[in-house]
Amino acid sequence: MSSSGRAFGAIFYRLSTAAPLRCPNFFPIQGAVRLNTNLSSSSMYSSCAKWAITPIKFQSLNSVRKIWTRGPLCMGRRSCKIAGRKGAQDAKKAKLYAKVGKEVVSAVKKGGPNPVSNTSLAALLEKAKELDVPKEILERNIKRASDKGQEAYIEKIYEVYGYGGVGIIVEVSTDKINRSVAAVREVVKDCGGKMADPGSIMFKFRRARVVNIKVTDADKDTLLSIALDSGADDVIEPFIDEDDDSEEDNSERYYKIVSSSDNYMEILSKLREEGITFEPDNGSELLPLTPIEVDDEAMELNKELMSNLLDLDDVDAVYTDQK
């Protein structure tokens, strides 16, 4: 590369990485840019570098044009948290649809595709309607169950130790157990977690029916009233982070109305009567008895571990007692 070429590259490197430049050695010619090559490479570079604190000007006899450069846009800590919560909700919905689809396959395998004669399938279709599962997903999985190589799905639970003493529960529906356990073990190992013995973490959780309501969609007092009238067990308020104080942050926080299966449908009915938008569970959720607070580093490592576990096709849900 010639010396003038190297100087030209050096000048544009400074344009992209440093403060805005003003260089008197650029001249517009028919919409393009020509470098004054009568200067030596060293004088050319120094001539531009000494103007590094002012806007660049492409000079001509009749006009002066200014071009400003800007640094890259970066997401702040709060924006990253919001994006993470939105992504988690989208992933939760996708997993819900996948789980119901697997249950449909298993029900059809056991009792046939006719919901009139297959009561298990009929109940599952009612549940899918309650959960707003798209009709095409149900039809696709009913058809899929007739494939010769398709086996019924088996539900499994794996327990994992995360960072900072955090416990993680992984719920799996799989037609190949060896495949699912190998995949879970690989992710846990790669992310620095540790597989736990059965029962060593599960006792830290309780299983319940849960309705999720965005804090922006309902008033707390209204939810408490609905919970009392319908016999709910509890209303859990979202964890408040000291860095999350805007309305945008609130849009991705959720109240949880906790109940038994007996009262669940009544809660949904009362929420509909009040015109409150809600997200039902996928049949049940695991709630931590005593949430654990960890430092920022452990929190991010645990989030990465759980995210990678959720990316596995066989995994339906991941729960943690991390606050």
For the ranges 70-79, 234-243, 283-292, the maximum mean pLDDT occurs at 283-292
Which carries the bigger pLDDT value, residue 68 or residue 219?
A: 219
Give the model's pLDDT for residue 152.
Answer: 86
Q: Is the pLDDT of residue 35 over 80?
A: no
* Per-residue pLDDT tens digits for 80-99: 444 445 556 667 778 888 88
Q: Is the pLDDT of residue 186 over 70?
A: yes
Give the model's pLDDT for residue 4.
Answer: 52
* Per-residue pLDDT tens digits for 111-154: 999 999 999 999 999 888 877 889 999 999 999 998 888 888 99
Give the model's pLDDT for residue 73.
Answer: 35
| Closest alpha carbon to 221 in 179, 261, 276, 266 | 276
User: What confidence tier does 209 reach under pLDDT thresholds 50, 70, 90?
Assistant: very high
For the chain, domains (ranges, CATH) are: 3-67 (no CATH), 75-152 (1.10.10.200), 153-323 (3.30.70.980)
Report the percent of the chain where pLDDT is more than 70: 68
In this structure, the strands spanning 279-280 and 56-59 are unpaired
